[in-house]
Amino acid sequence: MTGALASIFALRMFGLFMILPVFAVFGAALPGATPFLIGLAVGAYGLMQALLQLPFGMLSDRFGRKPLILAGLVLFACGGVVAATAETIQGVILGRALQGAGAVAAVIMALVADVVSEQHRTRAMAAVGMSVGGAFVLALILGPLLATWLGLSGLFWLSSLLAVGGLLVALAWVPNPAVRVREAQLPLGPRLLRILKDPLLLRLNSGIFVLHAVLTACFVVVPGLLSERLGLPLARHSLLYLVVFLASFVAMVPLIIASERRGLRPVMALAVLLLGVALVLLALAGDRLWWFGLALFVFFTGFNLLEALLPSLVGRAAPVGTRGTALGIYSSSQFLGVFVGGGLGGWLLQQYGPETVFLAAAALTAGWLLLVFGMPPLAKLDNRVLPLVVAAGEADRWVNELLAVDGVLEAVVLPEAGIALLKVDPASVDEAALTRLSGDVVAQV
């Protein structure tokens, strides 16, 4: 199931990312295009994502994850068609905004958190994060080549086709488990207030904002420096990014393993530190290509590690019954970072030069590191995998039965797998009642 969700993420994000390395060139030929409107076309996606991640997450808490994933993919596909058939820059902006309205990132992460046990959740989130990173690398490599063959319109048509592929994967392989929690009926206002006041979630949301603001600001600067200052042909940018990403993924694996053994907080602090060091290295790189390559390797090692750790922490820290809402706020913070990072990075580049962009990003990262050191500990909750042979139509009833057991805080029933996944308080859970309930269910089937 994790593989199916990761592939949906990858198909959708490849369709998005392959536009980025070519749109500034091809978009300039559209009627009515100006530098500002080209920037708006790029940023419209992130802005809509920031606005709609939270509503999608909250709706998924109420109506289920899978229906919202399907709806988001349909919106993304429709937006690609609008952009592909547009004859002006304004039409492309509309299409990009409609693509961004398919804000399913939070819903996908919430579904992973729902059905993957906490012991394996970091690896599952890492698989999703790595699929996005892989899509990003492939898009940087293939985007310019595909644009040469297909043109800008063809790229948008291809993005819609990839979204249709994601729809087929979701229909065939993504489950739609019955999810109920003790606090599922918590009203919207108190639910939002509870998430926004949580000191750990506040730090995590600030972190993902900084991470993507820094990434976007850097990519406003790095491609131009590679071409103009270092004389690296555009075709070779792809090779540099490929080498850097592959090396960073290899370096990230032992750190992921270490996070499961030594705890997430110290490894997260190390990742943020790597990010800050890389930004300082970029500011000092001058015209040395090897220095740029080293700095990018350090940067993406920290970046990829944080992309894996942060959603896992949000899924664990979210108050019971608010996981979709919490991940919606988290994803909104992420895409708001994209929007702010692009605008701020461009302004700093224009006013003060590329080194200032890197140093300002490093300063943001230093502030984030202070927040990481002040993170409160996570509540110590355990997971139980309970054998549960239940007919599909009885799933909701047995979820309620499980939640009636002392110490059970959350229950997910997967009839097709014959199990229930539980989040429990180990200090108060009634293990005997769970065992008896599982036996009763098996006896009745």
137 located within any domain: no
* pLDDT score recorded for residue 70: 94
Mean pLDDT, residues 282-303 taken together: 89
132 located within any domain: no
Residue 185: pLDDT band by 50, 70, 90 thresholds? very low
Select from 330, 364, 379 the last residue of a domain: 379
| Residues 236, 372 within the same domain | yes
Residue 84: pLDDT band by 50, 70, 90 thresholds? very high
Q: What CA–CA distance (Å, rounded) separates 247 from 242? A: 9
Determine the 3-state secondary structure of 384 from DSSP. Answer: strand
129 located within any domain: no
| Residues 349, 408 within the same domain | no
| Residues 249, 169 within the same domain | no
* pLDDT score recorded for residue 178: 63
**Strand 178-181, strand 382-387: pairing:** unpaired
| Residues 408, 333 within the same domain | no
Residue 149 CB: number of other CB atoms within 10 A?
A: 8
| Residues 152, 225 within the same domain | no
| Residues 165, 289 within the same domain | no
Select from 336, 352, 379 the last residue of a domain: 379
422 located within any domain: yes
**Number of domains making up the chain:** 3
Q: Is the pLDDT of residue 385 over 60?
A: yes
* pLDDT score recorded for residue 145: 77
**Lowest-confidence pick of 265-274, 291-300, 395-404:** 395-404
* pLDDT score recorded for residue 425: 79
- From the number of C-beta atoms within 10 Å of its C-beta (0-12, 13-18, 19+), residue 144 rates as middle
| Residues 101, 195 within the same domain | no
303 located within any domain: yes
Mean pLDDT, residues 205-210 taken together: 93
| Residues 410, 431 within the same domain | yes
367 located within any domain: yes
| Residues 169, 205 within the same domain | no
Quick one: what percent of the chain has pLDDT higher than 90? Answer: 20
Higher pLDDT: 379 or 284? It is: 284
Q: What CA–CA distance (Å, rounded) separates 136 from 139? A: 5
* pLDDT score recorded for residue 440: 60
CATH number at residue 64: 1.20.1250.20
Tens digits of residue pLDDT in 329-384:
887 888 888 778 877 877 887 788 889 989 999 999 999 999 988 877 666 667 67
| Residues 393, 375 within the same domain | no
Determine the 3-state secondary structure of 30 from DSSP. Answer: coil
Higher pLDDT: 100 or 311? It is: 100
Query: Measuring CA to CA, how many Å separate 67 from each of 60, 233, 331, 368?
Result: 8, 45, 19, 35
| Residues 349, 393 within the same domain | no
Q: What CA–CA distance (Å, rounded) separates 444 from 439? A: 9
Tens digits of residue pLDDT in 64-74:
889 999 999 99
Mean pLDDT, residues 182-194 taken together: 60
Mean pLDDT, residues 91-120 taken together: 81
* pLDDT score recorded for residue 90: 93
Nearest Cα to 41, choosing from 1, 77, 90? 90
Mean pLDDT, residues 172-192 taken together: 63
Contacts of 100 (CB under 8 A, 6+ apart): 44, 45, 46, 47, 48, 49, 52, 79, 335
Highest mean pLDDT among 211-220, 221-230, 285-294, 358-367: 358-367
Select from 349, 379, 409 the last residue of a domain: 379
* pLDDT score recorded for residue 334: 84
* pLDDT score recorded for residue 105: 79
CATH number at residue 430: 3.30.70.100
Mean pLDDT, residues 314-320 taken together: 71
* pLDDT score recorded for residue 369: 93
Domain that holds residue 78: 1-122+142-174
131 located within any domain: no
Higher pLDDT: 260 or 423? It is: 423
| Residues 92, 230 within the same domain | no
Q: In whole numbers, what is the pLDDT of the chain averaged over residues?
A: 80
Tens digits of residue pLDDT in 19-46:
776 776 677 788 987 767 776 777 778 8
* pLDDT score recorded for residue 122: 62
Phi, then psi, of 414 in degrees rounded to 5: -115, 90
Residue 211: pLDDT band by 50, 70, 90 thresholds? very high
Tens digits of residue pLDDT in 235-272:
677 788 788 888 888 888 788 777 766 667 788 889 99
399 located within any domain: yes
Residue 442: pLDDT band by 50, 70, 90 thresholds? very low
* pLDDT score recorded for residue 330: 84
Residue 444: pLDDT band by 50, 70, 90 thresholds? very low
* pLDDT score recorded for residue 439: 67
